[in-house]
Each structure stands twice: as structure tokens, then as C-alpha cells.
Chain A
Amino acid sequence: AQSVTQLGSHVSVSEGALVLLRCNYSSSVPPYLFWYVQYPNQGLQLLLKYTTGATLVKGINGFEAEFKKSETSFHLTKPSAHMSDAAEYFCAVSDHGRGGSNYKLTFGKGTLLTVNP
């Protein structure tokens, strides 16, 4: 079974500082990996995804993530935080190629990002 671990339920940064949100996964096959963002009182919105190909993936709002197979990680970064980045971020994994099961996502517990002025 696949699983996702997000290190740090709450991360606080200053505006303009680097954002680093950690995600580690376990999967018995090469996974598809995702980051979703949830703003207050809203649903989840896809930030970026890794399926195949280039391991550095760029998403919306200046975020990017790098798939590192050797470390089973998919950490999310942004060089300079903005106040509007304050939200909860979820890492997710799908176990593709196993009998068509690639449509189920397993989510991490989420990391709440606070941006201080």
C-alpha cells in the first residue's frame, strides 16, 4: 500500500523567504506525485504534478517540486514567499499501472503554511 508523509504540520516563514514543504512517499511502483493547495474555506486545487520525464516540475504561483527516487521524496519549494501563499498544502500519490488503479489518490496529512509580514 502506498503512503505519504508530510514532515511538519505547520511551517512559518517570513515574506520573501524560501518556502520548503517536505513530502516523502512509499510506493511499490514508480508513483505519480502531486501537490495540492487549499485556501481557507475552499476545495483543493492542483499546484503541480509529476508523472514521467523531467524530475523537476514547475507549477502555478511560482512553486516547483523535485522528484527524487533515491530519497522517495517530492519536496515543494518556492524561492520567495508571498502573503497570498498562506494556505494548507497537501502532497498526494497515486499508484499507477496496477490494474487501472491510477485514479485513486492517497493524501498526506497536510502542512499549514503561514507567511509573516
Chain B
Amino acid sequence: DAGVIQSPRHEVTEMGQEVTLRCKPISGHDYLFWYRQTMMRGLELLIYFNNNVPIDDSGMPEDRFSAKMPNASFSTLKIQPSEPRDSAVYFCASSLRDRGFYEQFFGPGTRLTVL
């Protein structure tokens, strides 16, 4: 099993540019989560999907952020336009129900730097 795959691992961009982060969940998992990690705010849940449908996007900071999951094996998180305060590590995680609990498996993260 390849685990959760994220790309790119590092992204450096300039303020105002569009940024797209990609995630491939573990095959067969039915939940997908996007998190953001910063020193100041720790680990924050941005949005999660169940069977490709967004369930809760209350953690998305503002309209500049959007996420999609067109199929069970792919999701994107887009920031347009990007701002320096968006600099963070973005994690994708996926899960599958196991006796009523959903253990989350994390990808390696994308380190985003907005100049």
C-alpha cells in the first residue's frame, strides 16, 4: 500500500498566484480530510469529504480557498489568490470505517511558502 500521496511536497509562489495542492487517498478509503499546520495555530481541519461529497467546510479560512474531490482517488485544494499568511504545511488524510471509528492516515504534507 502506497499510503496517502500528496504533491507537490514543496511549493514556493508569489502573492497573488494560484496554488493547487493535490492528494491521492488510500485506495478504498471513503473519507478524505484536508488540514493546515502552522506554528501559531497548530493543526486545523479545513474540510472533509465522504464518498467524494464535501461534508463540512467550516474550517476553510475564506473564499480564496476551495476544495474538490472529482472521484474517489483524487482531491485538490486550491488557493486563489494566495497570500503570505497562507504559508503553512498542508496535510491530506484519508480513513475507512473500522468498527465505528475512522482512523486517519496522513500524507507527508505539502510545505507552501507564499512570498
Question: Which of B12-20, B67-75, B76-84, B103-111 faces chain A?
Answer: B103-111
The B interface, classified by DSSP as helix, strand, loop or mixed, is strand
- Residues in B lying within 8 Å of A, measured CB to CB: 4, 31, 42-43, 45, 48, 50, 56, 91, 93, 95, 99-109
Tell me which of A42, A105, A108 contacts B45 (CB under 8 A): A105
Q: Which of A59-117 contact B (CB under 8 A)?
A: 90, 94, 96, 102-105, 107-110
Say whether, besides A43-B4, A43-B106, A104 and B45 are in contact (CB < 8 Å): yes
The 8 Å CB contact of A104, one of B4, B48, B100, B106, is B48
Q: Which residues of A contact B (CB under 8 A)?
A: 32, 36, 41-46, 49, 51, 90, 94, 96, 102-105, 107-110
Distance in angstroms from A100 CB to nearest chain B CB is 9
Tell me if B106 and A107 are in contact (CB < 8 A).
no
Residues of chain A within 8 A of B43, CB atoms compared? 44, 90, 107, 110
Would A46 and B103 be within 8 Å (CB), given that A104-B56, A105-B45, A110-B43 are in contact? yes
Contacts of B104 in A (CB 8 A): 44, 46, 105
- Say yes or no: B45 contacts A102, CB within 8 Å: no
